[in-house]
Amino acid sequence: MNITHYMPCKKPRRSTRLEFKEKEAVKEKSVQSSPLGFFDMFPVELKLMFLKYLSVEDLSNLTITSKVFRNLVEGFLTIHPILKKDIVDRIHIQSKYLPMPAIKHTDYIQLFGRLGLLIKRSTCLYSTKDRLKFINEVLTKLLCCNYTEHCEDLSMCLAMSCFGKFLHTVIAGWDDCECVRAYEAICSHTCLMKNVKLVLMSKSGSHQRLEFEIRCFFRRVFLDPCSSIQDKAFWMTRILKPWPLVYQARLIFLIYGPVLEDEILWFELSENTPAVNSVQSSQHMGGLANALQILHHYKQEWSEDDVVSIIDEMTSSPEEWLAENMAHLLILCGDVITSKLLISKAINGRMMELSSLITSFCLVCVKNSLNLDYVIAMIRHVLRVIDSAKDRQIFSCSITDMFKELIIDIHEFEEGQGNDMFYMVTSMAEFTKKIMMLAFKEP
Ligand SMILES: [Zn+2]
């Protein structure tokens, strides 16, 4: 029998303590079963408001905690776009008189790295096609031509360097074929190929601004942010491979050749010898030599012959380089590439070019206080591939004849100009000393 049946109050008396305990238990159960725990008790508006107070880094960490948080962050990013106007303004335009300090450049580039990581994590469930669409949306917002204010001075604009860092962070760890898709998507989005074709098919220097824009785009977006040589070789190959050899050589010069402000100095190395010492030589030709070395090491897509042909083409177009500049470039490229190029000239019977290069090696070594053993080693490589004794003799004599020709030329045409005569005579003297020491080494 239930005694409560006879009581005036039907409701059984319960302790408030027990009621509270019961409520707590229900709450705890619901908190435990909901994916965001206590956070789920807030309405969605409040949840999104909380996210506003988090840094990009915290948001990015939140996306990898759970799928629900990832969805929440994704929703947050659609309402609050990651590119704020003040950031875009700051990276496009900088005062000439008060340039942004280098440390600030790094800060902005690092910020885009963090944004890239956030996007990489929040879009991890998307297909490559959708992720590429997202990357292109960011690119559209950052392109100088889409910027509402004027962004005249490309050399001071940071936008593409920031995008480069963003891109490389998003695609880090992607398969090569996916990276190729990324390259193609960006090229077609920006009509890059059309512009490159126009520049390559026109006379060098006839589209000065466009040439510089292409250089900056390739360097800042694809090449400079690379973290390893292998990575750089991959992207350089993507840029060069669609074109025939003549254009490949031209593109390398366009991307890494010497520049003055926003002009690519196509004829500088055919008219002057700008590199007096090793610091200047690396300023003018260091980038080119480095690019050639990178291709040379990327054996899966470039043979030694390809690299030699590119050097041959690059140093004879749009005009033949001065032999001293070519010698300088080869010294920077290293012994393996140099000996390969000399051997190919020897096999093709290009004796005049060879002797001109050998004398220039002597000159560069003297100017930079380097040992002439390098030159002797290169001569030995060449002699090894010349079959007939007579041809070997002709080659040896052509070197000293070349010295004679050059000294007479300087004497006749450039009397009193700089130290050319001094350096040339010293080169010949040093070379002769080296040969004499080798010849009379035995007692
Ligand atoms: Zn800009």
How far is the centre of ligand 1, averaged over its atoms, from the C-alpha of 159 (Å)?
5
Q: Are residues 341 and 441 in the same domain?
A: yes
| 5 domain residue, yes or no | no
Q: Are residues 56 and 90 in the same domain?
A: no
pTM: 0.85
How far is the centre of ligand 1, averaged over its atoms, from the C-alpha of 218 (Å)?
15
How far is the centre of ligand 1, averaged over its atoms, from the C-alpha of 147 (Å)?
7
| 140 domain residue, yes or no | yes
Q: In whole angstroms, what is the distance from residue 264 CA to residue 258 CA? A: 6
DSSP 72-136: HHHHHHHHS-S--HHHHHHHH---SSSPPPHHHHHHHHHHHHHHHHHHHHHTTTS-HHHHHHHHH
The domain that holds 69 is classified in CATH as: 1.20.1280
pLDDT confidence of residue 244: 96
Specify the number of domains making up the chain.
4
How far is the centre of ligand 1, averaged over its atoms, from the C-alpha of 67 (Å)?
37
pLDDT confidence of residue 277: 67
State phi, psi for 268 to the nearest 5 degrees: -55, -45
How far is the centre of ligand 1, averaged over its atoms, from the C-alpha of 200 (Å)?
24
Q: Are residues 311 and 368 in the same domain?
A: no
Instruction: State which H helix or E strand residue 264 sits in.
Output: strand 263-264
How far is the centre of ligand 1, averaged over its atoms, from the C-alpha of 140 (Å)?
12
Residue at which a domain ends, from 141, 169, 190: 190
- Tokens 């707590």 identify what position? 24
| 419 domain residue, yes or no | yes
Q: Are residues 254 and 312 in the same domain?
A: yes
| 161 domain residue, yes or no | yes
Residue at which a domain ends, from 127, 155, 190: 190
pLDDT confidence of residue 101: 75
How far is the centre of ligand 1, averaged over its atoms, from the C-alpha of 434 (Å)?
55
Q: Are residues 150 and 51 in the same domain?
A: no
pLDDT confidence of residue 251: 96
263 DSSP β-pair partners: 260
| 18 domain residue, yes or no | no
Q: Are residues 246 and 342 in the same domain?
A: no
pLDDT confidence of residue 193: 93
pLDDT confidence of residue 341: 93
* 160 token code pair: 């593409």
How far is the centre of ligand 1, averaged over its atoms, from the C-alpha of 74 (Å)?
28
Q: Are residues 176 and 265 in the same domain?
A: no
How far is the centre of ligand 1, averaged over its atoms, from the C-alpha of 85 (Å)?
13
Q: Are residues 257 and 350 in the same domain?
A: no
- Domain range for 114 is 84-190
| 17 domain residue, yes or no | no
Closest residue by Cα to residue 244 from 296, 186, 317, 190: 317
How far is the centre of ligand 1, averaged over its atoms, from the C-alpha of 132 (Å)?
22
How far is the centre of ligand 1, averaged over its atoms, from the C-alpha of 59 (Å)?
28
Instruction: State which H helix or E strand residue 260 sits in.
Output: strand 259-260
| 63 domain residue, yes or no | yes
How far is the centre of ligand 1, averaged over its atoms, from the C-alpha of 259 (Å)?
19
Q: Are residues 365 and 395 in the same domain?
A: yes
How far is the centre of ligand 1, averaged over its atoms, from the C-alpha of 152 (Å)?
7
Exposure string of 362-399, with b = 16+ CB inside 10 Å and e = fewer, is bbbbbbeeeebebbbebbeebeeebeeeeebeebbebb
How far is the centre of ligand 1, averaged over its atoms, from the C-alpha of 49 (Å)?
32
Three-state DSSP class for residue 373: helix
Residue at which a domain ends, from 190, 218, 235: 190
Q: Are residues 208 and 120 in the same domain?
A: no
pLDDT confidence of residue 21: 84
Q: Are residues 152 and 176 in the same domain?
A: yes
Q: Are residues 154 and 49 in the same domain?
A: no
Output the tens digit of pLDDT for each of the chain's 443 residues.
Answer: 565 565 555 555 667 888 888 888 877 777 777 777 777 778 888 888 888 898 888 998 888 888 888 888 888 888 888 888 888 888 887 666 666 777 788 899 999 999 999 999 988 888 999 999 989 999 998 888 887 777 777 888 899 999 999 999 999 999 999 999 999 999 999 999 999 999 999 999 999 999 999 999 999 999 999 999 999 999 999 999 999 999 999 999 999 999 988 899 999 999 888 766 667 777 789 999 999 999 999 999 999 999 999 999 999 988 999 999 999 999 999 999 999 999 999 998 888 899 999 999 999 888 888 888 889 999 998 999 988 888 888 888 999 899 898 888 888 876 556 688 888 888 888 888 888 888 887 66
| 282 domain residue, yes or no | yes
How far is the centre of ligand 1, averaged over its atoms, from the C-alpha of 254 (Å)?
20
How far is the centre of ligand 1, averaged over its atoms, from the C-alpha of 185 (Å)?
21
